[in-house]
Amino acid sequence: MIGVIGVIGVIGVIGVIGVIGVIGVSKSERTMRAIGLWTAPLLLAAAAPPAPVPDPVQVAAAALRDAPVWDGHNDVPEQLRDRRRDVLGDFDFRDTTGTADAAKGLGAMHTDLARLRAGHVGAQFWSVYVSAALPEPQAVQATLEQIDVIRRLIARYPADLQFCTTAACVRDAMRAGRIASLLGAEGGHSIGGSLGVLRQFHALGVRYLTLTHFRDTAWADSATDAPAHGGLTDFGRQVVREMQRLGMLVDLSHTSAATMRAALAVARAPVIFSHSGAQAVDGSPRNVPDDVLDRLKANGGVVMVDAYPSYVSEKVRQWVAGRAGEEARLKVLFPGDPAAVKAGVAAWVAAHPEAKASVGDVADHIDHIARRIGIEHVGLGGDYDGMEIGPEGMHDVSGYPALFTELARRGYDKAALMKLASGNTLRVLAAAEAFAAAHAADAPEEAPTAF
């Protein structure tokens, strides 16, 4: 192969010879030689072999090697509660592929140490979620139990998992080859309307709070409930301010668009969406509208794109809605006859094959957010073990390399993929910590207790 300098040298020699040769010849000959003079470099360039196209598999592997995935949301603690009542006993987290429970209608778990390694997950926010249907005092207790069980699980596997509460710890754990393990509380009901409880959760290691879950709280509107507050109440704004004073990440997944906007108006440090997508791609209210994405860019925050099929695929969302609508219609037509309803739903499904989400659907959300506000504002939050099954090609936590390969095929380079994998989330948590350090002397927010 001719090097760049060699090509330039050859072109220069040809040019000199051409100029000398043109002197003293006829006009027509000079014209022909001039054409040759200018076309010679083009011929040389055409003869050079094309630059090799980067192999998407290799680009993805290189990015994940240098920047493992930091996943924003995983529901293993919920699985431990539902399946085992938080009793670890002989539970083996090295391999959970055999954990299906047909009697309870439960499939196998999506997460274990082997599959986390296969998925190149280097940091994980474990969700200490409890149902928003619980009375708030009970929700506080249950959340404490979830904090306890996941911390006990982390402690069982010190060679693989490292409990972390800071960005520096996450970096250290990744360098040591361990999976940094952080806690996120999913739903403001978990604090029981108490800033004191919020502060104690922070002291126990919780590093984000999702302001709502599927229901409104007394101080914030959910994306999936009838609006009650128009976003945040005064107490809700206090919660946001106190979280940022402490260095906790404000998580806006599950909140209504009005709550998103209200929180961003209060926030002075970057916020996150721990497991959401782009509403322009999938119209679910669980996803983020474009105008909120624009505000998030100004805030410096991150949307951690999830893998929940009906949140990433509009076709799946429409299929789910169609099935639910048909079931509701049949229940009205055949009250007291569940067999007829079941048969009717089965007939509808047979006539309408189930839609499936794919790796490409997840990539479409990343594409949209990156084009709208920049790759610096995108992360990943799979929601594994909080759904029945992930998209085709990403059924469980081992599927991240397939997503990164798809993104590399679409033209994302190693630097962009490293930001997506964990660089952006590291930046956001470090910024939250820096804000808290700068405001360490600020007085805590105060509000009267309920009783």
Report how far apart, in Å, the C-alpha atoms of 261 and of each of 45, 218, 227 are.
54, 18, 14
- Show the DSSP H helices in 184-252 as ranges: 195-203, 234-246
Has 314 been annotated as catalytic? Answer: no
Question: Considering the chain, what is the average pLDDT of its residues?
Answer: 91
CB 77, CB 127: distance < 8 Å:
yes
Candidate CATH numbers 3.80.10.10, 3.20.20.140, 3.40.50.740, 1.20.1250.20; the one for domain 56-313+356-438: 3.20.20.140
How far out from the chain centre does Cα 443 lie? 33
Residue 293 has pLDDT above 50, yes or no: yes
pTM greater than 0.85:
yes
* Catalytically annotated residue among 71, 75, 282, 406: 75
The greatest distance separating any two alpha carbons of the chain, rounded to the nearest whole angstrom, comes to 106
Has 110 been annotated as catalytic? Answer: no
CB 311, CB 287: distance < 8 Å:
yes
Query: What pLDDT shows up at residue 46?
Result: 53
Q: For 57-77, write each residue's pLDDT tens digit.
A: 999 999 999 999 999 999 999
Residue 148 has pLDDT above 80, yes or no: yes
pLDDT band for position 47 (cuts 50, 70, 90): low
Rounded CA-CA distance 320/317 in Å is 5
* Catalytically annotated residue among 78, 361, 383, 406: 383
pLDDT band for position 7 (cuts 50, 70, 90): very low
pLDDT band for position 21 (cuts 50, 70, 90): very low
Query: What pLDDT shows up at residue 282?
Result: 98
Contacts of 234 (CB under 8 A, 6+ apart): none
Has 365 been annotated as catalytic? Answer: no
Residue 24 has pLDDT above 70, yes or no: no
CB 200, CB 208: distance < 8 Å:
no
| DSSP category for residue 180 | E
Dihedral over Cα of 122, 437, 247, 228: its sign: negative
Radius of gyration of the chain (CA): 28
Has 213 been annotated as catalytic? Answer: yes
Paired tokens of 450: 């309920």
Has 120 been annotated as catalytic? Answer: no
The three-class DSSP label of residue 375 is helix
Positions of E strands within 377-441: 378-380
- Which residue, among 35, 47, 41, has the nearest Cα to 13 in the 3D structure? 41
Rounded CA-CA distance 223/132 in Å is 13
Query: What pLDDT shows up at residue 249?
Result: 99
Residue of 34 and 79 predicted with greater confidence? 79
Rounded CA-CA distance 189/144 in Å is 13
Domain limits, the chain: 4-47, 56-313+356-438
Percent of the chain with pLDDT over 90: 86
Query: What pLDDT shows up at residue 451?
Result: 81
Per this entry, what is the length of the chain? 451
Has 352 been annotated as catalytic? Answer: no
